[in-house]
Amino acid sequence: VFYAFRAAAGTTWTFSEVDTFSHPNGWRNSRHPKVKVDSAGRPHIAYEYADVSTTPRTYQIRYAYFDGATWQRRSVFSQTGDN
């Protein structure tokens, strides 16, 4: 998961890595990101994480926010199953 922004008067984009998943076959994925920026200009992102390399499969809803210095991440819901 990456976050990118550009200052209102700028022309350069800034990218940061929010969360990363790796699997040689690509069986760990994130999807359906939702982004909101709070009144301090700090981004908050909710997204689904799926790991289909395990049996049973693992699904999570994750939440990440930028605290002004680093990205903070946590799983807010987790479920295992076949779907």
Cβ-based neighbour number of residue 64 at 10 Å: 19
Reported pTM: 0.83
Residues 6+ apart with CB under 8 A from 26: none
- Candidates 50, 48, 46, 53; CA nearest to 31 is 48
Q: Residue 4's pLDDT is what?
A: 95
pLDDT one-digit tens code per residue, 24-51 = 777 888 889 999 999 999 999 999 999 8
